[in-house]
Structure 1
Amino acid sequence: MNGMVGLLMAAGAALVAQNLLMVRITSGVSTVLITLLVNSAVGFAVLLTLLLSRSGLAGLAEAVGALRYWAVLPGVLGAFVVFASIFGYQRLGAAPTIAVLVASQLVVGLGVDALRSGGLGMSSLLGAVMLVAGAWLVAGR
């Protein structure tokens, strides 16, 4: 559990760094689409290199075989999240953007968990209310 919490904390810090860098890239180009394309291309190149070095052409064949028509949705959703984050960082700042993103993730995540498990505990609901209220305070400044 502690290792997972550390991993998630590192990912959160990396997300802030990524968004700050992407805002900087966006300020030097004509459209945010260039920033998104560079981000996606670098991610694709790194992941392709890791897959090929780990599994060779068999890994690439497996990846191609796993493609389904709906498999494009995570990439589209991810690009939307990055797009919204860049605009949030530019117009609202880092903290309000993060607060709204985290609060919305929590609310939707609680909904998904409630549907899967048939309900939520009072502590989860109270925690969600407190986090959403905190996000509102941060975003509202």
Structure 2
Amino acid sequence: MSAEAQTTLREALSDVLERMAFMFAEETPKEELAPPEGPALCAQMSFKGHGSGTIRLWVPQSLCPEMAANVLGLEPDDELCRERGIDALKELLNVTCGKLLTDLYGERYVFDLTPPETTVLDEDGWRQALADETSTAFTVEDRPVLVSIRLTPGEASA
């Protein structure tokens, strides 16, 4: 199921970025992905139910105010967008997780979700994310983005 889950996650993220944040994700070979300029963030959350696992989303911190601006209908340089950028990233991950679970398992199952959490990455953290065999690379608004899913072995699947 891992390959199916990764494909479904890529599709879910692209759809949610487009519909929620009016941003377009272009899948990009990892070797062609430019490193982020400035700090990057890793947002992650876990789910447990009919299936269990963790999804992660790595983005340059500079992308977060743009996400917030698009979600809130404001200009990216608006103070509120800078303040709410990380919240926008977390909500984007939360909505992506919900879509992913519905697409993978259908609507009849209930899942327990952890709240999305973010951590700041240094250059080594970004390199590790890029080297993660489960991560997929995208370019969003000319910036590098990575996404991954890890399913917990032994859990029920679709």
| TM-score between the two structures when normalised by the length of structure 1 | 0.31
Bigger-Rg structure (1/2): 1
Structure with greater contact order relative to length (CA < 8 Å, sep ≥ 6): 2
| TM-score between the two structures when normalised by the length of structure 2 | 0.29
Q: From the two aligned structures, give the one with the greater strand fraction.
A: 2
